[in-house]
């Protein structure tokens, strides 16, 4: 079953992003780990990891204060 990411903007609206698909959750997570900064700079504020139509989890791309 393919894994993919869905992208949301600041107001929770869907935004366009890369339409990559992955054969495993680990591959999808590795990819987002390499590209999240680029996505965030293009206006993506959160992503959903999706397997087929089921959302595995949602993750914010907003930087955290340290």
What pLDDT is attached to residue 41?
Answer: 93
Cα 64 from Cα 18, distance rounded (Å):
24
Q: Does the pLDDT at position 30 exceed 80?
A: yes
Alpha-helical (H) ranges within the chain are 25-41
Mean pLDDT of 57-61: 95
| Structural domain boundaries in the chain | 3-60
């Amino acid at each position: 079953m393919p894994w993919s990411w869905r992208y949301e903007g600041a107001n929770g609206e869907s935004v366009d992003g890369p339409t990559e698909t992955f054969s495993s959750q680990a591959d999808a997570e590795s990819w987002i780990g390499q590209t999240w900064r680029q996505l965030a700079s293009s206006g993506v504020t959160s992503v959903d990891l999706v397997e087929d139509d089921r959302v595995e989890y949602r993750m914010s791309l907003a930087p955290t204060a340290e």
